[in-house]
Amino acid sequence: MNLSEKPTHSLILKINGTDTILKIKPWTSLLDGLREYAGLSGTKKGCDHGQCGACTVLVDGKRINSCLTLAVMHDGHEITTIEGLGTLENLHPLQAAFVEHDAFQCGYCTPGQICSAVGLMNEGKVKTEDDLREMMSGNLCRCGAYSNIFDAVKEVINHKTGVLL
C-alpha cells in the first residue's frame, strides 16, 4: 500500500514490560503502532484527534492520548496498555471495580478510562469528588456510563490511598 521512499525506523518500546522492536514509517501514531504493529488491539481508536480519550495509554507512567503522538518519538520509552494491567485470573483493582460497578455498556471507552484512572492515581492530585470528575474529563463515554465509572474509580482511590472523597 505504501510506496513511500522515506526510511523505515526501527525502534524499541518497552511495552507492558517486554522490549518490543517495531519497524515502522515515521507517520505511524503510537496508537497505530500498538494496534497494527505490536498486535495489541486493547487500546481503542475513537476520534483519532485527541478529543475522546479512548486511546489513552501510559508512557513512563503518565497518561497520554496515543493518537496524537508518533511512535518514533517514543523510542526507549516504557508503554503500558490495558493488556499490561491485569490478567483474567488476577484483575487490576480498577478492572475489578469496573466490573463490580458495571462501569460500561459497550465497553469501547473502557480501556482508555482504566488507563486514564491509573494515570490519575499516579498523579495523586485528586482530593474531592469534583477533582475526580474534572480529572477524568479527558475520557468521553458515548454510552454515558459516567456515574458508574466515577463510582468505580472513587472506590479504588479510597481503598488505595485511604483518602475519603
Ligand X SMILES: Cc1cc2nc3c(=O)[nH]c(=O)nc-3n(C[C@H](O)[C@H](O)[C@H](O)COP(=O)(O)OP(=O)(O)OC[C@H]3O[C@@H](n4cnc5c(N)ncnc54)[C@H](O)[C@@H]3O)c2cc1C
Distances (CA, A) of 125 to 27, 73, 103, 155, 164: 34, 27, 22, 16, 13
Least Cα distance to 75 among 30, 129, 128, 123 occurs for 30
| Residue at 37: amino acid letter | Y
Least Cα distance to 120 among 64, 55, 49, 50 occurs for 64
Residue 19 dihedral angles phi and psi, to the nearest 5°? -65, 125
Residue number, 60 or 100, with CB nearest to ligand X: 60
Least Cα distance to 12 among 89, 75, 106 occurs for 75
Residue number, 50 or 144, with CB nearest to other proteins: 50
- Residues numbered 31 to 50 that lie near ligand X (CB under 6 A) are 50
Which one among 17, 39, 50, 107 touches other proteins, defined by CB under 8 A?
A: 50
Task: Work out whether 147 is an interface residue with ligand FES (CB under 6 A).
Answer: no
Task: Work out whether 51 is an interface residue with ligand X (CB under 6 A).
Answer: yes
Task: Work out whether 146 is an interface residue with ligand FES (CB under 6 A).
Answer: no
Task: Work out whether 113 is an interface residue with other proteins (CB under 8 A).
Answer: no
Question: Which residues of this protein are in contact with other proteins, per CB under 8 A?
Answer: 4, 6-7, 9, 26-27, 29, 48-50, 53, 56, 62-65, 68-70, 72-73, 116, 119-120, 123, 125, 130, 133-135, 137-139
